[in-house]
Amino acid sequence: MSRALVKIGGIVGAAVIATSLVAGCGSSGDTIKIGAIAGLTGNFITEEVVKTAGRVFDDVNDAGGIGGKKIEYIVKDDAGNPQRTAQVARELADDGVVAMAGSGSFTDCDVNDAFYRQQKISSVMAVGASPKCYQSPNIAPVNVGPFTLITAELLFASETLGNQKVCNFTVVLPGSEQAVNDAIGQWEKISGKKLVVNDTTVQQSGDLTPYLLKAKQAGCDAVLFNPGEQLVVPFLKAAQTQGMSDVDFLLLAPAYTESVAKAVGGLGLKVYAGSEFEPFTAASDANKGWKDAVTRAGAQPTAFSQGGYLAARFVVDVLKSIKGDITRESVNEALRSMQPISNPMVGTPFIFGPGERHAPNQASKMVELKDSAWVPLGDFITVPTSS
């Protein structure tokens, strides 16, 4: 995904005037109001997420809506400011949204989980990043998320690439320590192996060479590194300087961007990344619907926009299953009693369900950096949920 986890810590809480973007039918009194929170301004921009989701809803409206009612998609800009994130959620609740769909805010889950529970608002998120997103009865992200992805990538290293000395160097954000440890523990349980180095003290600034020297000294043949492009590029350039061309570098989805490919593609290193969905750089049949939607939306094609597309598609399917009035209560009931929805862009079916937590997406594909371009590799790697 194109925006880095490391940006979360850098989000500054400057007050920003809210932006409300209404897509689809603007009529009042006879619409189905769906809300979303995204970064339309500030340091963390996710405009392509809601633009693509909005295109899906526009298509439904152009085809007559649902039960004769048009979807009114109300997007609120939180500018990456937690105070704004809380405020706009309350504005959406006051607006009478029946559910949230396609949110692309990194602070939404931590700030609004309790509010969503209190207001009985369900959210099908496009991009979940914090542990709270996967631990709420009211939130179900469509993306794999950073923690399951850690397990999947470690499995790729040990089981597919055959690495014997797998090492982990991660930036751990406040509140994520347990989730990172659980993800590593899940890999250990499945593979029966242990990390040679598990360094979760990586800082978001400064010289990264000491971590690479630590990896060399331990003989790591695979190195997992979780930040996005701001740290990944200097990290890999330093690895080249250290002559680590025989090491497999495994990056998480925030580093799966075209700019990273161009910046480090010529270093002669072995670099892989997790895609979370069908790789957005793949010209596959699975991506056709999303590609059409993101193009007509005039949005940037990214994995984030894939999340927006899928969240909107899944919510539309659930809305269509409702007999009678579409209200917050009937949407909640439909989400909790829904049948799993399969889509070729994801490795496991989407389901909300009645559980106290939701992490329906448990599979990711991998991409390899070749000639300054990301090339899809193989099939989905599915993390067993029963392990």
Low-confidence spans in the chain with pLDDT less than 70: 1-29, 386-387
Q: Which pLDDT does position 15 carry in this prediction? A: 27
- pLDDT at res. 244: 98
Candidates 45, 41, 37, 43; CA nearest to 75 is 37
State whether the Cα torsion 52-309-291-362 is positive or negative: positive
Cβ partners under 8 Å of residue 100, min gap 6: 34, 35, 36, 37, 92, 116, 121, 122, 123, 124, 125
Classify 121 as helix, strand or coil: coil
β-partners of residue 69 are 66
Q: Are 202 and 228 in contact (CB under 8 A)?
A: no
Q: What is the pLDDT of residue 386?
A: 52
Alpha helical stretches, state H, the chain: 47-62, 82-95, 108-119, 146-155, 177-191, 209-218, 229-241, 258-264, 288-296, 303-320, 328-337
Query: What pLDDT is stored for residue 69 in this prediction?
Result: 96
pLDDT of residue 12: 26
Hey, is 381 helix, strand or coil? strand
pLDDT for 44: 79
Q: What is the pLDDT of residue 249?
A: 98
Among 219, 214, 255, which residue's Cα sits nearest to residue 236?
255
Contact status, residue 149 vs residue 228, Cβ threshold 8 Å = no
Helix (H) or strand (E) holding 225: strand 222-225
- Separation between Cα atoms, residue 278 and residue 168, nearest integer Å: 25
Rg (CA), the chain: 20
Residue 50 has, within 13 A of its CA and on its CB side, a CA count of 28
- Whole-number Å distance between alpha carbons of 195 and 340: 35
Distance CA 314, CA 351 (A): 9
Give the model confidence (pLDDT) of 31-75 as tens digits: 999 999 999 998 778 899 999 999 999 999 999 999 999 999 999
